[in-house]
């Protein structure tokens, strides 16, 4: 069994519903969600002139290997109507693999740990809620410590339990 930590997010449509629908598809197609964070709201990162994002982290037990999991997550995004018009643009849903076991992966399809995780408070805060003591395999620091050291100044608000 593999353990993956995922981040779902989106800023178009009914954001709360989209996160729930993504969670349902992940359970149906990818494995068992062991736990998930509250939903967090934040301003857009990168291209800021767009609606606020809702984000949620989850711990997934899966039989899938990393690239197979990534392909399944991309299929879920497509099924939900995700259109990749431009990088950092608005989207119905985005599903990222933040961590996968203690693996370090660099392929054309996937980089794990997620390369921007240490710089993104909107990913670190929900991940810290469910996995604060997990050690980042490249930085050799806990998620809790990485969050404390994060220079990202965007406000991130918990909006649901």
Instruction: Return the active site residues.
Output: 82, 91, 94, 96
DSSP 101: T
Give the C-alpha separation, 88 to 50, whole Å: 10
First to last CA, the chain: 28
Query: What distance in Å separates the CA atoms of residue 22 and residue 156, rounded to the nearest whole number?
Result: 21
| d(C-alpha 24, C-alpha 33), whole Å | 9
């Amino acid at each position: 069994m593999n353990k993956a930590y995922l981040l779902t997010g989106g800023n178009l449509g009914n954001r709360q519903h989209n996160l729930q629908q993504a969670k349902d598809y992940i359970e149906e197609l990818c494995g068992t969600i062991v736990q998930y964070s509250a939903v967090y709201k934040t301003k857009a990162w990168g291209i800021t002139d767009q609606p606020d994002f809702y984000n949620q982290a989850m711990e997934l037990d899966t039989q899938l290997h990393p690239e197979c999991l990534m392909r399944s997550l991309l299929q879920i995004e497509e099924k939900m109507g995700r259109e990749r018009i431009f990088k950092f643009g608005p989207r119905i849903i985005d599903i990222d693999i933040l961590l996968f076991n203690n693996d370090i992966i660099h392929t054309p399809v996937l980089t794990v740990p997620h390369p921007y995780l240490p710089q993104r408070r909107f990913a670190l805060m929900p991940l810290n809620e469910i996995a604060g003591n997990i050690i980042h395999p490249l930085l050799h620091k806990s998620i809790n410590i990485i969050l404390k050291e994060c220079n990202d100044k965007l406000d991130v608000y918990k909006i649901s339990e």
